[in-house]
Amino acid sequence: MDTQVIQWNEPNRANTPPLHIASRGDRYSTVTGVWWLDEFRFVANHRSGLRLALFDMREGLAPVTTVAVPHLSDDVAARPLGGDSWELAVSGCWDASHSVYRLDCEGGSRFSLIASHPAPNRSFCHGVAYDQTGRLCLTYHTGEDPRILIGDQLTRLPPPWGARDICHDQDQDKYHAVAVSNNPQRTAYQSTSMSVWSLLPSSGTWDQTLNIDNVHSDACQMFRGRLWVPDQAGDRVLGLDLSQDKPPIVIQGDCLDFPHGLSISRRGMLAVTSYGSSSIVLLDVSSASN
């Protein structure tokens, strides 16, 4: 499978202490979130670099433009506003709930900060997403009040699970969330497990669909009937059949180094952020998703 690797390095402007990533030594937080705008352009965020960037594959591998983010961030999402403009949401970790930007690309690319929303209580906002109706979805995975917000709808996973990310399955009008049993520590954690939860909008209750040992996942997206997740513990990406009728699709390679975030374009171009190497990996999964 052909791959392309984009290196995106930024200074550690947040002065975050190094984290111990599995057994591979200390690194500070790097590229964490990514979201496709169309078949050529995507946005990504650099956690400790305190930056949000636009990439356009027609213009090379460097960011087209960047903007400062006033807090640490783990995830980014976008929804179209019409014309060549988007609304972007960036998760705020402990420092905020999330920030909202506008991206205008007519006559040049410009980011504008619309608002930075404080966290109502001390909880860690990790995942952001937009569903097909444009509603903003937020996952607060740990802290005083782990919860999930879909627009104004508040739901929770049963303890001790806290959702890391959420996505919307348009075909079935169902939401899926991923959660992990342990959080990364400054010393390597010995084991972890990932759970997948599903929600019908009419039910208000999350049902556990899968539980997989020795997997740590921070992101999810539906594509052609499979839930795609990065596995940081195994340096791979998994395409999961939630009915469990088909075995998972497994994508591995040296270019995946503690994969954190992912996004898949409509045509099947997968973008994965490698937290361990401060890079974004691009590969075509359209033929591997059946």
Residue 120 has pLDDT above 80, yes or no: no
CA-wise closest residue to 139 among 165, 170, 100: 165
Lowest-pLDDT range of 30-34, 158-162, 236-240 = 158-162
Confidence of residue 289 (pLDDT cuts 50, 70, 90): low
- Examine the pLDDT at 29 and tell me if it is beyond 70: yes
Confidence class of residue 190 from pLDDT cuts 50, 70 and 90? low
pTM, to two decimals? 0.95
Q: Is the pLDDT of residue 13 over 70?
A: yes
Q: Lowest-pLDDT range, 41-55, 66-80, 142-156?
A: 142-156
Cis before 247 (ω within 30): no
126: pLDDT confidence band, cut at 50, 70 and 90? very high
Q: Which residues pair with 148 in a beta bridge?
A: 139, 155
Lowest mean pLDDT among 63-67, 90-94, 241-245, 260-264: 241-245
Cβ count near 74 (within 10 Å)? 27
Q: Average the pLDDT over 86-92 and give the result.
A: 98
Looking at residue 22, what is its pLDDT? 60
pLDDT band at residue 184 under the 50/70/90 scheme: low
DSSP letter assigned to residue 286: G
Q: Which residues pair with 45 in a beta bridge?
A: 33, 52
Question: For residue 195, what are its two tokens?
Answer: 């759970």
Select the more confidently predicted residue: 191 or 255. Answer: 255
Q: Which of 17, 148, 138, 154 is nearest to 72 (CA)?
A: 17
**Distance in Å from the first CA to the final CA of the chain:** 15
| Amino acid (1-letter code) at residue 135 | R
As a whole number, mean pLDDT of residues 162-190 equals 81
Q: What is the pLDDT of residues 274-285, one digit of tens each?
A: 998 999 999 999
C-alpha to C-alpha distance for 75 and 129, rounded to whole angstroms:
8
HSE-up of residue 62 (Cα within 13 Å, Cβ side):
3
Q: Nearest to residue 143, comparing CAs of 91, 193, 183, 198?
A: 183
In whole angstroms, give the CA distance from residue 200 to residue 86: 27
> In whole numbers, what is the pLDDT of the chain averaged over residues?
92
**Given pLDDT bands bounded at 50, 70 and 90, which one contains residue 202?**
confident
177 or 213: which leads in pLDDT: 177
